[in-house]
Structures are given as structure tokens and as C-alpha cells.
């Protein structure tokens, strides 16, 4: 590994926002920003050995502060949606900020994506970032201590380790919101990308983006159209074919904004669950995770005012592959458990590994 670099990116008030850059001997590069514990750069070679950044990023700190799509940010303490922006924990009822209809998404205005992290440690292989969240920040109980570690391997792999503990029972379900685009022209969006997910549960969502009320991972029979789409994605399907698939779950959202309940041999083991590849460049990334769910979002809305490499990106500019526990699990325990008990330690790992194919 080469020596890491630290550069000032800007300031928020009196707080310095720095970029930490890591590079291995093969040329893979990782750049992390302490605002939002953000992945700003992650490079991977194409089939000809030419490296390019495969996560979408912005040029200025001001753009990260003002732009809503959460480019590369850590999400937490709860990444997924919480229905009615409220939950019950023990005998207490908590109300949260509504920031998407009647739901609470990505922990709203006080989430990790709006926080300046401390750097607990850094070396040539990566960085550990720390955040201390006081009791009732954003409506969540407990003084929460959270750590996010990013490590770049000599094989180009990116390992993300999450850890947290609280002095009261609280909720914790983190993720990362990097948008991947393995092509070399942002203007083409997700053209030529193929997505493969090891899951037989493409979970349908309601108008609020929550799993539909009658979904249960232990007893689920999707309609034939959704089952056929799920089977194709399980085998590997062009994203353009997904976008044009004639099913309301796709057409009503203009793409994917859906949880996939993962098929894993053991619920908390680190297993490969997804593969994203690009036909033209030959780039691919695999996703391994200890999490039980993958939320896939294909940037389905317009992107006014956003510039990437000097261009306004199109609809479907990138794909977010968010490893986590199922959205709204706190209100439907059969979807998973996001309760972090007092003094217990939460841990989760996701590993992204680049390769070439085609």
C-alpha cells in the first residue's frame, strides 16, 4: 500500500472537512470524506486496465451539503424507511421527522449523511471514523457511539465495517448510499449494466416505499409477473430490461427502489449476494455482506441542478446497493430486528470486490 494522503476539502463552520486518499500498489484508489463518512472515489480498472471512478461524486463540498441524492454518504442510525415516522420501544412511543411523505427516510435531517465524523484512526490501509450522537438526537433514544471503518485491500476490495453501542435501548440499521456506475460516460446512465442478486424475494412496496402490508419472508407467494422478474434478476438481467419490464412495481417507481430479502446459508454470515457488471468496459463489482437485505435504488427521478464531470446526469445515473436490515422492521418485527439493546455492540460488514468480465 502507498502512503495515505490527507487534503482539506472545505469547512462547515469551524469544522475542517478533509479528504483521505488510499491507494494500493495495483492502482486501486479509495477516497473518504469525514463529512457524512462519504465514499467520494473508488476506482476500478476496465478490461484494458484503465482505471476509472465507479462511484458518482461531486466537485465541491457545497454540492454535497445542498444536493439531496446522498452521493456516497453513510446512512444511519437507521438507513431504511420507518412507516408513519414513529415507533414503539418498550413502553415508550417515539415520533421522528417526516421527510418523505409520511415516512422517515435515512434518519432525515440529523442522519449520518448530515454529520461531521471524527477520525479515530487512519493508516495506509484505511480509516476508522467515529460519531457521538447525544440522547434524543433526531428523536432516537440513547447516547449512541458509532464507528465506520473503510479498508482498501491489495486486491482492490473495499471493506466497510459498522459498529455501534448505546447506553439505552435504541435503533440501529446503517448502510452506505454510493451510486455505482461502471461505465465511462455518465451521459449513458446505467446502459449496458447487468444486475444479478441472490434473492427469491423482490419485495413489493406500497406508495410510501415501504414493504407491502401482506409481505412476510416466511410465507410469500408473489404474482406471476413479479416472480418472473425476480427469477430473471436472480440469473442476471440488463437494467434497461428491468426499467421497461411491464409490471406496476417497476413502472410506478420508474425503476427499482425495492428491498431484496437475501437468500443466505446463515443469516449473519458474510456471503456474496449481488454482482453488478458492465458489458462495454468489462468492469464488475461483487457485494458480500453479513446483512439480511439489499435495498436497490436506480436513481429513478430527474436530477436538476446536479453536475457530474461537468454534465447533468440522466435519469438512472447510477445504482445504490444498500446492505441493511429490512425497512420498517421496527414496526413489523417479522421483517428483522433493528433494536440495539443497552450496552450491546452492533456489528455488520460489507465487502465490495472489483473484477473484470466479458
Check which CATH number belongs to the domain holding 293 and give it. 2.70.98.10
Q: Which of 28, 104, 106, 177 is catalytic?
A: 177
Number of domains in the chain: 2
pLDDT value at residue 22: 98
In a domain, 172, yes or no: no
286 is in an annotated binding site: no
- 60 and 207, same domain (yes or no): no
In a domain, 173, yes or no: no
- 265 and 313, same domain (yes or no): yes
- 258 and 346, same domain (yes or no): yes
In a domain, 171, yes or no: no
- 122 and 214, same domain (yes or no): no
What would the pLDDT profile of 180-203 be if each residue is shown by its tens digit?
999 999 989 999 999 999 999 999
- 260 and 124, same domain (yes or no): no
Does the predicted TM-score (pTM) go above 0.85? yes
177 is in an annotated binding site: yes
Beta-sheet pairing, 74-75 with 175-176: antiparallel
What would the pLDDT profile of 247-262 be if each residue is shown by its tens digit?
999 999 999 999 999 9
Q: What range does the domain containing 281 cover?
A: 179-356
- 129 and 277, same domain (yes or no): no
- Annotated active-site residue 322? The verdict is yes
- 12 and 125, same domain (yes or no): yes
- 62 and 132, same domain (yes or no): yes
Q: Minimal CA–CA distance to 277: which of 198, 194, 197?
A: 194
179 is in an annotated binding site: yes
- 273 and 195, same domain (yes or no): yes
Query: What band does 312 get if pLDDT is binned at 50, 70 and 90?
Result: confident
End-to-end CA distance of the chain: 29
In a domain, 101, yes or no: yes
Cα torsion 100, 105, 106, 111 to 10°: value is 80
* Mean pLDDT of all residues in 101-105: 96
Helices assigned H by DSSP within 114-237: 224-235
- Answer whether 61's CB lies under 8 Å from 10's CB: yes
- Annotated active-site residue 177? The verdict is yes
- 151 and 194, same domain (yes or no): no
- 44 and 149, same domain (yes or no): yes
Query: What band does 36 get if pLDDT is binned at 50, 70 and 90?
Result: very high
Amino acid at each position: 500500500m502507498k502512503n495515505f494522503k490527507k487534503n482539506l476539502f472545505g469547512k462547515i463552520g469551524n469544522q475542517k472537512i478533509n479528504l483521505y486518499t488510499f491507494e494500493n500498489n495495483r492502482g486501486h484508489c479509495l477516497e473518504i470524506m469525514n463529512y457524512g463518512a462519504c465514499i467520494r472515489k473508488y476506482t476500478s480498472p476496465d478490461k484494458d486496465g484503465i482505471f476509472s471512478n465507479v462511484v458518482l461524486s461531486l466537485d465541491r463540498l457545497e454540492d454535497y451539503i445542498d444536493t439531496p441524492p446522498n452521493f456516497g454518504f453513510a446512512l444511519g442510525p437507521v438507513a431504511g424507511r420507518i412507516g408513519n415516522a414513529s415507533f414503539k420501544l418498550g413502553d415508550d412511543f417515539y415520533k421522528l421527522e417526516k421527510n418523505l411523505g409520511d415516512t422517515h427516510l435515512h434518519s432525515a435531517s440529523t442522519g449520518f449523511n448530515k454529520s461531521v465524523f471524527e477520525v479515530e484512526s487512519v493508516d495506509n490501509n484505511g480509516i476508522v471514523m467515529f460519531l457521538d450522537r447525544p440522547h434524543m438526537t433526531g428523536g432516537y433514544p440513547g447516547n449512541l457511539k458509532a464507528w465506520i471503518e473503510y479498508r482498501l485491500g491489495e486486491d482492490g476490495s473495499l471493506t466497510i465495517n459498522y459498529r455501534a453501542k448505546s447506553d439505552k435501548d435504541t435503533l440501529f440499521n446503517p448502510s452506505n448510499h454510493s451510486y455505482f456506475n461502471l461505465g465511462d460516460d455518465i451521459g449513458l446512465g446505467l446502459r449496458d449494466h447487468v444486475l444479478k442478486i441472490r434473492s427469491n424475494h423482490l419485495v413489493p412496496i406500497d406508495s410510501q416505499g415501504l414493504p407491502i402490508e401482506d409481505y412476510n419472508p416466511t410465507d410469500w407467494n408473489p404474482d406471476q409477473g413479479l416472480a418472473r422478474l425476480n427469477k430473471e434478476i436472480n440469473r442476471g438481467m440488463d437494467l434497461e430490461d428491468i426499467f421497461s419490464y411491464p409490471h406496476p412495481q417497476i413502472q410506478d417507481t420508474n425503476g427499482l427502489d425495492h428491498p431484496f430479502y437475501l437468500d443466505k446459508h446463515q443469516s449473519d454470515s458474510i456471503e456474496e449476494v449481488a454482482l453488478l457488471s458492465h458489458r462495454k468496459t468489462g468492469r464488475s463489482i461483487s457485494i458480500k455482506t453479513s446483512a439480511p437485505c439489499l435495498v436497490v435504488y436506480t436513481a429513478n427521478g430527474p436530477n436538476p441542478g446536479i453536475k457530474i464531470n461537468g454534465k447533468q446526469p440522466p435519469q438512472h445515473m447510477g445504482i445504490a446497493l444498500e446492505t441493511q436490515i429490512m425497512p420498517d422492521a421496527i414496526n413489523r418485527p417479522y421483517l428483522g430486528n433493528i433494536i440495539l439493546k443497552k450496552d450491546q455492540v452492533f456489528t455488520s460488514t460489507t465487502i465490495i470486490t472489483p473484477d473484470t468480465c466479458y
